[in-house]
């Protein structure tokens, strides 16, 4: 690992990825100071935690919704290398795993190229395993592919000295309160908890516990749950399939929300 130290006078941090890192669906209450958008997300929250300890935090978020791993590597990694930050978080591959026919072995090779390039800058790198989709009926069939990718990722982390956030093992994210209505993106509370978990991996002191038990709640009646399923299929699943069939992406024309290292506070 690098000699990353949150107590230094200036800490520079670059976040790379897709919608998960861009911050969907964690909106700022009033639009806030989110350039080119209104989403906060765990990466913004992590930068805020860094600012509680460092003299100054300079933060860039190059993540764009809908991007595949190869697009993240080709479009975002060179910019990250150019910025030469102290800390880089890289979460990629989720959109690839969702696609039929994707190969987790080839996907790992794409990610290795990115890690090798970033590692050469001396930055501290944080990688993320994929989540366990077993708790979501529509995605259970992806568990094997996701688990294979995760093993590759852990091997990469060992080889290059990266820190790892084990999303697969975060059982707290299996609660429906951790997810937005589209079942693909974290809720505001899910993002908050994930930011705390990343702080733990980076040894950043925080007061809250990411694994605090959720309030108990009664399951929805069967009929109401099926109505939710139908609404989700119409509003989320069908448009997603439509984009796949037409070669479009939710990130087409969407710029990174923080393309440059800028002072956070």
- Give the pLDDT confidence of 209-256 residue by residue, as tens digits: 999 999 887 677 767 666 766 666 666 666 666 666 676 667 677 899
Q: What is the DSSP letter of 28?
A: -
CA distance 254 to 227: 32
- The CB density around residue 85, as the number of other CB atoms within 10 Å, is 23
- The pLDDT of residue 136 is 74
CA distance 56 to 52: 9
**Cβ(180)–Cβ(141) below 8 Å:** no
- The pLDDT of residue 211 is 96
The answer to whether residue 36 scores a pLDDT higher than 50 is no
Place of tokens 């107590």: 7
- Give the count of alpha carbons within 13 A of 13, CB side only: 25
Place of tokens 């976040």: 15
**Cβ(17)–Cβ(61) below 8 Å:** no
Place of tokens 């944080």: 126
Q: What is the pTM of this model?
A: 0.90
The answer to whether residue 29 scores a pLDDT higher than 60 is yes
Axis-axis angle for helices 104-119, 143-160 (nearest 10): 20
* pLDDT tens by residue, 107-138: 999 999 999 999 999 999 999 999 998 777 76
CA distance 138 to 161: 35
The continuous run of DSSP H or E covering 179 comes out as none
Q: If pLDDT is split at 50, 70 and 90, which confidence band does 35 have?
A: very low
**Cβ(193)–Cβ(173) below 8 Å:** yes
Token code pair at residue 225: 């749950």
Full 3-state SS string of 63-128? CCCCCCHHHHHHHCHHHHHHHCCCEEEEECCHHHHHCCCCCHHHHHHHHHHHHHHHHCCCCEEEEE
* pLDDT tens by residue, 45-89: 999 999 999 999 999 999 999 999 999 999 999 999 999 999 999
* pLDDT tens by residue, 135-194: 777 678 889 999 999 999 999 999 999 999 999 999 999 998 998 888 789 999 999 999
- The pLDDT of residue 56 is 94
What are the structural domains, with CATH classification, of the chain?
10-263 (3.40.50.1110)
- Give the count of alpha carbons within 13 A of 121, CB side only: 22
Pick the more confident residue, 142 or 260: 260
Q: Which of 22, 38, 15, 65 is nearest to 248 (CA)?
A: 65
The answer to whether residue 4 scores a pLDDT higher than 50 is yes
- The pLDDT of residue 125 is 98
Token code pair at residue 155: 């091997």
- The pLDDT of residue 217 is 73
């Amino acid at each position: 690992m690098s000699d990353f130290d949150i107590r230094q006078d200036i800490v520079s941090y670059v976040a790379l990825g897709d919608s998960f890192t861009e911050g969907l669906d964690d909106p700022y209450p009033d639009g806030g100071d989110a350039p080119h958008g209104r989403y906060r997300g765990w990466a913004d929250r992590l930068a805020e935690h860094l600012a509680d300890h460092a003299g100054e935090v300079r933060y860039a978020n190059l993540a764009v919704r809908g991007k595949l791993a190869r697009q993240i590597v080709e479009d975002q990694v060179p910019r990250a290398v150019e910025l030469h930050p102290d800390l880089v978080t890289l979460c990629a591959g989720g959109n690839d795993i969702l696609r039929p026919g994707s190969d987790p072995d080839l996907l790992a090779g794409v990610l290795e190229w990115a890690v090798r390039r970033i590692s050469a800058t001396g930055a501290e790198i944080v990688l993320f395993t994929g989540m366990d989709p077993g708790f979501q009926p529509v995605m259970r069939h992806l568990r094997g592919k996701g688990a294979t990718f995760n093993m590759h990722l852990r091997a990469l982390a060992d080889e290059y000295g990266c820190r790892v956030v084990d999303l697969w093992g975060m059982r707290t994210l299996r609660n429906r309160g951790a997810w937005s209505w589209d079942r693909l993106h974290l809720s505001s509370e899910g993002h908050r908890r994930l930011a705390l978990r990343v702080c733990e991996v980076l040894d950043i002191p925080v007061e809250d516990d990411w694994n605090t038990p959720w309030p108990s709640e009664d399951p929805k009646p069967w009929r109401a749950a099926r109505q939710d399923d139908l609404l989700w299929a119409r509003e989320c699943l069908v448009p997603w399939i439509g984009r796949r069939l037409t070669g479009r992406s939710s990130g087409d024309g969407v710029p990174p929300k923080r393309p440059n290292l800028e002072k956070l506070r």
